[in-house]
Structure 1
Amino acid sequence: MDEFKVRTVDLQRVQNQTRHRTEGLSSSTLVLRRGQTFTVIINYDGRPFDPLKEKLIFRIVLGPIAVEVPVSRFGQPSATQWTAILERSVPNPTGPRALSVSLSSPVTASIGVYTLQLRVETRVTVKTHLLGQFTLLCNPWSQADSVFLQSEDLRTEYVMSDIGLLFKGSPGNIVSRPWSFDQYEKGILDICMKLLQVSPQHQADMGKDLQNRSNPVYIGRVISAMVNSNDDKGVITGNWSGDYSGGVNPSKWSGSADILRMWAETQFRPVKYGQCWVFAAVMCTVMRALGIPTRVITNFNSAHDTNGNMVIEEYYNEMGEKLSFSRDSIWNFHVWVESWMKRPDLGRGYDGWQVLDPTPQERSAGIFRCGPAAVKAIYEQKVDAQYDVPFVYAEVNADVRVMIVRDRTVLSTSVDKRRVGALISTKRPGSMIMQDVTSEYKTEKDMVPFRAAGGIAARGYTFGDERTMPREDSKGVAVSLQLLKAPVVGENISFNVIITNNEAAQKLLKKHVNAQNKEYNRNPTGSFWESHDDVKIGPKETVTIKHEISFKEYMLKETAEDSLVNLAVVIEDVKTQERVLASEEFNIRTPSLNIQIQNEVSVIINTPQVATVVFTNPFNVAVSGELTVSGSGLLEEKAQMRITIQPRETTKKPVSFTPRMAGAKMLSANLVLENPPTILHGFKTINVQAS
């Protein structure tokens, strides 16, 4: 009878990827999760396979690391080593015979792109067959994997979901920004694996890097450094200058695929430009693609403590203008990610969510990266826990020392222990609303309850307040600011200055109010509006003075999606020369775009549909700009069109799409206007049903 001879080997791509929950991930290879069995069918000619006469040995290769796995007839998959077990012989009387082999990887296998070979040894011959490549990912479904996540709902959200919301603005006027993570888009998984290969760690010592890739703590640190381009061939260059010539305004990005593709297609030249939410969203894409549960976090009033003293110094002149004396700053919001993993390096109790921050702020062990810092270690103030816990602790807990100065002499000081880390938020699993996670980072005593006023949280930093000076230091006058409604581009900003005389004598006061434009990540620039008056106030009296800043006075100079304002008032007692200050930082929201679906309840896979983008021009002038509609799994190509809309006119633009993936998907629309230079967003989530 003919000798046993292998004809073909079938890697059972569709069946294996369905079982491994990797269907939809686009790769040039088979995609598997570690610690789980997969099936390979060996088609052969000649006499039936006889394990006494033939030896089948799989060779599994990752860079310089190779492991030989002989096929055994009996046994169980192992959690600690590669195994290959003969499942059955598949009879086929007419054609080639087939063997079904069950292969399994250890749950601690390194993630990467492996090469699979099969060697057939008989007494006289040795033949090697190259079977192709497979990409191995972390496995949050496997209880023994260090990224195991208990709940199916949370795995669906933090690993499988490719749509998200990023939160921006200020705590009292939160803006939800749609983002498409795009991990299922063509070629994106392969680019995420390339990110690991281009890293300095891989270039310096390939073998060591590949061995370390079994550990999500290590992977997180590598990705955190590789998403920014500061020390390596990383993905994105940060730019906070307001001048984005030679690149893309960070506010124009709406998904990760464009950024990752541009980086890969230019031989790993950094993409211009990103800011914190872009860095975090791209990192979320990469981590989810690698199988590590990840979510995007926004910290409102985020401290950037440059000297590590846990105190942020702020300076104002006596006219209420904020001064740039300090390198410290408070970012109105800052965006990072949390990834879910075990932390055996920290001892018991620190498994779970870990902060990773790819925005290049400070170096960690000489490289611009941050984390993973265990959220529990931040909560417990365990500042000796690696990595970068003190830096993140300061971001959410630093004190703010506010000083009024004249000629570099301090006229008065107050301390605010509650402003920093005012609200820490993420997208709620399974819905498009915000979830408050502040209590995971901060103890009850460090958290501030927000007082809502006119739909916007108002916080007066009064000098007689327990958040600032102790009661006995309380001066004769208290002041606070109150926004009357959430500011929207095109409308006036209305606010009250509320002054209280705590003493039983009449006072003559000087009132200085000042408004400055600011970037979200640093101190404000020059003033664009001010008001100075004298105020007479009776004994124990409270007076409320209303102010309005017109659209013309604050109109944007640069294209932005949210312009931010620092508003401050200084009250000076003419007789005693004592001064008190209140300040409020807020964003002016852009109007949003509305997306309507023709037949929302029955959106079916592979069935054409129509969406309509609706926008009413709120401005007194005609506006024109470019509308872009995109949707991963819904639109093959982005839909782009130029539009012009007359004052107060409503425009409706239809967009046809055909869903190609079932599940929760999102259509998002961006309208970039030239005058006023602003970016408007809108989104609609769609539940696509299988046919």
Structure 2
Amino acid sequence: MEDLKIKNVNLEKSENLERHRTEGFSSSKSLVVRRGAPLRISVQLEGRAFNPKTDSMRIKVMLGRLYVVMPVTFSKKVCSSHWKAYVDPESRDLQNLSIFISTPASASVGYYTFQLYVFTPGRKKTCAFSKFILLCNPWCREDAVYIPFEDQREEYIQNDSGLLFIGTSMNIVSRPWSFDQFEPGVLETCLNLLQVSPQHQKSRRKDYLNRNNPIYISRVVSAMINSEDDRGVLKGKWKGDYKDGVNPSLWTGSGDILTQWAESGYNPVKYGQCWVFAAVMCTVMRVLGIPCRPITNFNSAHDTNANLVIEEYYSETGQKLNHSKDSIWNFHVWVECWMTRRDLGSGMDGWQILDPTPQERSEGVFCCGPAPVKAIKDRRIDLFFDIPFVYAEVNADVHSIIVSEGRVVSYCKDTERVGSVICTKAVGFPRHQNITGDYKCIKSPTLSSRSSTVSEDSTLSRGSSRGVLVFLILDKAPVVGEPVHFTVKVINKEKVAKRMKVHLNAQAKEYNNSPSDTFWESHGVIQLAPMDVKVIHQQILPAQYENVVGDDLINLAVVLDDLASHDRVLASEEFNIASPQLTIQIADEDSIVANKEQAAIVTFTNPFSHPVSGVLTVAGAGLIQGKVHFRMLPLPPGKSVKQRITFIPNKVGTKMLQASLSLSNINSTIRGFKMVSVSRA
């Protein structure tokens, strides 16, 4: 009988990429497929046709040293929990076979190799080798990461750009970010992240077996994004200079960070802060096939002693003091990943909180989660993982304390400030979506809530009178180049006249630190008749804040001191000053096609009271290779400058073109973005 040999094995890459919705990874040298769905290979035989009565085929699939051997059958019956290989029932040519390999919906993520063996009478065998990458599959109902809506799969898996939200709850700032999951080399780096992890280094077999579980994968990735316990991606830094690395505010996408980490031999990239950690984790999870989105919690508590109380101290003239180990970050960014939680029983499936920013150890390692969002709302602090820590981040009370000569002279409590707004990018739209109600029960707003930090209900006394109320109200969201207008409203609730000192104090602060020294203050005295109401209008001029604030925020406080009783009352507000946006215009934006040069105009108008200069950087995954830089000469106040750029899109779909202007004489970066729809040529 004539010998039967394997002449060629074709992985049918374009067909499988489309079938598995992995077309974005077409630049990868390996075939990329998703678990729980069959992949098709074509096998060309030579010598003679395959005879099902006398010949047989087997496929051996290997992940590291783990392997499974399966016969190639002529039956299409598949089981979602087992590996299966079968000949396409439509195949009539037994010399050119079409074979499907069906992967379990719970198969482990990673690089696979497979061998195809053909056995003939006399037990002669011939074999061929090939490789593929297997990812999670949110399109497969049996997969633990299945998410049932196509628009959400598009947003949380396929979207390679998005928005991060920073600033304050009253003035939310959209920050464009390029997740870059389909950029060359990013897929391989994300898979290598699993290989570099301590879990893999300690026991490859155990790691490979556990990689079937998104809970396990997400904890490994959460720990590996920061470099505190391992050869993780990013080194965090929150104060001082960044001369030996990159200022976290200058990153515009994950691709540069992951590429630098891989090319350095997996040495940590300097530097990251919360939004950078979260955005890079979002990239890794989307690459691995786990739906993921960045989340911003405004006024995020770090409760070091777990008593659900954050204490803030002020001087008797309204200067905020650094006296507490507890802290509130004006915003903090983490991620949510979608998965079922079979380990917790029913009711805890869905979005899970994961936080790669190194704050607290979890089981001895700097990682956080996955903590079910539903468990936070239901206060199920008995469940895994790290629920008490996350619960405090969104639910702690704030005690504001005035101290004088080492003594507490006033005290008030705010139960609304922490976790006041929790948001993420809306599905399919470049704006934020408020999801606070997913985390906590929302109280109906009262007249005084959050228009000031002190209300009648929350102003408690400790040797101080309840007879005077003070409200600090920003007249409108502050904008760079305009005065900050605010109002102090004082109400005398007693039938006694009062004479009071008024101390106003403004300090610049970073989002995650105590404020620096006072840069603006005002002091005066007011007379209050019985049952009187006084309204004081104040402003801070641009020249007074521009050189101090930049990308930072302002802590503004007012302290009233009763000259007769020396009772004191405090109100405070922390706010950001909105920067201008760069505008991007594209000619014929409705007719942009792949592989054809396009032009865009980036415009900046100087809102500052003095000339500014800097460097303009333009980038866009799928639109521009790398980054383009332009130096901007000093631009006088009120004047505009335009920069023309050209780009050649190389990917089809909705892409983000983003621009950032890093100013050299102010600690500030101006940003802008435009969504670009690219069609096939």
Match of 2:63 in 1: 62
Report the alpha carbon displacement of residue 497 of structure 1 after superposing the two structures with TM: 1.5
Asked if 1 retains the 8 angstrom alpha-carbon contact of 2:296 and 2:422, the reply is yes
Match of 2:19 in 1: 19
The structure-2 alpha-carbon separation of the partners of 1:173 and 1:525, relative to structure 1 and needing over 3 Å to count, comes to same
Q: Which amino acid aligns with 2:586?
A: I
**Distance between the aligned counterparts of 1:444 and 1:536, measured in 2?**
39
Which sits farther off after the overlay, 356-365 or 481-490?
481-490
**Distance between the aligned counterparts of 1:397 and 1:310, measured in 2?**
7
Report the alpha carbon displacement of residue 450 of structure 1 after superposing the two structures with TM: 9.0
**Which of residues 512, 517, 521 in structure 2 aligns to 1:521?**
512
Does structure 1 residue 555 correspond to structure 2 residue 546? yes
Match of 2:656 in 1: 666
Asked if 2 retains the 8 angstrom alpha-carbon contact of 1:465 and 1:471, the reply is no
Asked if 2 retains the 8 angstrom alpha-carbon contact of 1:492 and 1:548, the reply is yes
Asked if 1 retains the 8 angstrom alpha-carbon contact of 2:412 and 2:458, the reply is no
**Distance between the aligned counterparts of 1:58 and 1:519, measured in 2?**
58
Asked if 1 retains the 8 angstrom alpha-carbon contact of 2:76 and 2:88, the reply is no
**Distance between the aligned counterparts of 1:470 and 1:686, measured in 2?**
57
Q: Which amino acid aligns with 1:42?
A: V
**Distance between the aligned counterparts of 1:20 and 1:5, measured in 2?**
30
**Which of residues 298, 302, 305 in structure 2 aligns to 1:304?**
302
Match of 2:261 in 1: 263
CA displacement 1:471-494 (0-9 Å, x = unmatched):
999611111111123223333322
- Cα RMSD of the aligned pairs, angstroms, is 1.9
Matches within 5 A, 1:139-218: 139-218=137-216
Match of 1:637 in 2: 626
Match of 2:35 in 1: 34
**Which of residues 88, 101, 104 in structure 2 aligns to 1:106?**
104
Report the alpha carbon displacement of residue 557 of structure 1 after superposing the two structures with TM: 5.4
Asked if 1 retains the 8 angstrom alpha-carbon contact of 2:334 and 2:354, the reply is yes
**Distance between the aligned counterparts of 2:10 and 2:446, measured in 1?**
60
Report the alpha carbon displacement of residue 406 of structure 1 after superposing the two structures with TM: 1.6
Report the alpha carbon displacement of residue 73 of structure 1 after superposing the two structures with TM: 1.5
Match of 1:342 in 2: 340
Report the alpha carbon displacement of residue 181 of structure 1 after superposing the two structures with TM: 0.6
Match of 1:498 in 2: 489
**Distance between the aligned counterparts of 1:622 and 1:139, measured in 2?**
52
Q: Which amino acid aligns with 1:668?
A: Q
Report the alpha carbon displacement of residue 408 of structure 1 after superposing the two structures with TM: 2.5
DSSP-derived class of the 1:346 partner? coil
Does structure 1 residue 679 correspond to structure 2 residue 669? yes
Q: Which amino acid aligns with 1:501?
A: N
Asked if 1 retains the 8 angstrom alpha-carbon contact of 2:471 and 2:488, the reply is yes
**Distance between the aligned counterparts of 2:90 and 2:170, measured in 1?**
66
Match of 1:3 in 2: 3
Asked if 1 retains the 8 angstrom alpha-carbon contact of 2:328 and 2:512, the reply is yes
Report the alpha carbon displacement of residue 518 of structure 1 after superposing the two structures with TM: 1.0
Asked if 1 retains the 8 angstrom alpha-carbon contact of 2:297 and 2:332, the reply is yes
CA displacement 1:108-152 (0-9 Å, x = unmatched):
100111111112223435545343221100000001100001111
Match of 1:620 in 2: 609
DSSP-derived class of the 2:594 partner? coil
Report the alpha carbon displacement of residue 48 of structure 1 after superposing the two structures with TM: 1.1
**Which of residues 520, 525, 546 in structure 2 aligns to 1:534?**
525
CA displacement 1:661-684 (0-9 Å, x = unmatched):
222111000001111231100001
| Structure 1 residue ranges without an equivalent (≥5) | 452-456
**Distance between the aligned counterparts of 1:489 and 1:128, measured in 2?**
72
Does structure 1 residue 225 correspond to structure 2 residue 226? no
Report the alpha carbon displacement of residue 636 of structure 1 after superposing the two structures with TM: 1.7
DSSP-derived class of the 2:24 partner? coil
Does structure 1 residue 50 correspond to structure 2 residue 51? yes
DSSP-derived class of the 2:502 partner? strand
Match of 1:486 in 2: 477
| Structure 2 residue ranges without an equivalent (≥5) | none
Match of 1:361 in 2: 359
**Which of residues 579, 587, 607 in structure 2 aligns to 1:590?**
579
Matches within 5 A, 1:118-129: 118-127=116-125, 129=127
**Distance between the aligned counterparts of 1:461 and 1:271, measured in 2?**
39
Match of 1:454 in 2: none
Asked if 1 retains the 8 angstrom alpha-carbon contact of 2:319 and 2:507, the reply is yes
CA displacement 1:321-377 (0-9 Å, x = unmatched):
111111100100000000000001111100000000001111111111100000000
The structure-2 alpha-carbon separation of the partners of 1:126 and 1:627, relative to structure 1 and needing over 3 Å to count, comes to farther
Does structure 1 residue 608 correspond to structure 2 residue 627? no
DSSP-derived class of the 2:18 partner? helix
Aligned residues: 679
Matches within 5 A, 1:289-300: 289-300=287-298
Asked if 2 retains the 8 angstrom alpha-carbon contact of 1:117 and 1:128, the reply is no
**Distance between the aligned counterparts of 1:350 and 1:683, measured in 2?**
37
**Which of residues 477, 483, 502 in structure 1 aligns to 2:468?**
477
Which sits farther off after the overlay, 579-588 or 236-245?
236-245
**Distance between the aligned counterparts of 1:170 and 1:130, measured in 2?**
59
Asked if 1 retains the 8 angstrom alpha-carbon contact of 2:410 and 2:461, the reply is no
The structure-2 alpha-carbon separation of the partners of 1:511 and 1:128, relative to structure 1 and needing over 3 Å to count, comes to farther
**Distance between the aligned counterparts of 1:84 and 1:185, measured in 2?**
32
Match of 1:430 in 2: 428
Asked if 2 retains the 8 angstrom alpha-carbon contact of 1:418 and 1:448, the reply is no
The structure-2 alpha-carbon separation of the partners of 1:557 and 1:569, relative to structure 1 and needing over 3 Å to count, comes to closer
Report the alpha carbon displacement of residue 469 of structure 1 after superposing the two structures with TM: 3.2
Report the alpha carbon displacement of residue 100 of structure 1 after superposing the two structures with TM: 0.8
Which sits farther off after the overlay, 335-344 or 68-77?
68-77
Match of 2:643 in 1: 653
Match of 2:135 in 1: 137
DSSP-derived class of the 2:253 partner? coil
DSSP-derived class of the 1:9 partner? strand
**Distance between the aligned counterparts of 2:361 and 2:553, measured in 1?**
28
Report the alpha carbon displacement of residue 556 of structure 1 after superposing the two structures with TM: 3.7
DSSP-derived class of the 1:667 partner? strand
Report the alpha carbon displacement of residue 555 of structure 1 after superposing the two structures with TM: 3.1
- TM (norm. structure 1) is 0.95
| Identity over aligned pairs, percent | 51
Which sits farther off after the overlay, 526-535 or 247-256?
526-535
**Distance between the aligned counterparts of 1:295 and 1:488, measured in 2?**
29
Asked if 1 retains the 8 angstrom alpha-carbon contact of 2:417 and 2:450, the reply is no
Q: Which amino acid aligns with 1:20?
A: H
Asked if 2 retains the 8 angstrom alpha-carbon contact of 1:459 and 1:584, the reply is no
Match of 2:535 in 1: 544
**Distance between the aligned counterparts of 1:430 and 1:355, measured in 2?**
22
Q: Which amino acid aligns with 1:34?
A: R
The structure-2 alpha-carbon separation of the partners of 1:200 and 1:448, relative to structure 1 and needing over 3 Å to count, comes to farther
CA displacement 1:522-577 (0-9 Å, x = unmatched):
2212212211211112121111222222333323458x5x2111111110111111
Q: Which amino acid aligns with 1:108?
A: S
Asked if 1 retains the 8 angstrom alpha-carbon contact of 2:17 and 2:33, the reply is yes
DSSP-derived class of the 2:402 partner? strand
DSSP-derived class of the 2:278 partner? helix
Report the alpha carbon displacement of residue 468 of structure 1 after superposing the two structures with TM: 4.1
**Distance between the aligned counterparts of 1:604 and 1:54, measured in 2?**
51
Asked if 2 retains the 8 angstrom alpha-carbon contact of 1:422 and 1:448, the reply is no
Match of 2:235 in 1: 237
Q: Which amino acid aligns with 1:251?
A: S
Report the alpha carbon displacement of residue 593 of structure 1 after superposing the two structures with TM: 0.4
Asked if 1 retains the 8 angstrom alpha-carbon contact of 2:599 and 2:645, the reply is yes
Does structure 1 residue 401 correspond to structure 2 residue 390? no
The structure-2 alpha-carbon separation of the partners of 1:147 and 1:500, relative to structure 1 and needing over 3 Å to count, comes to same
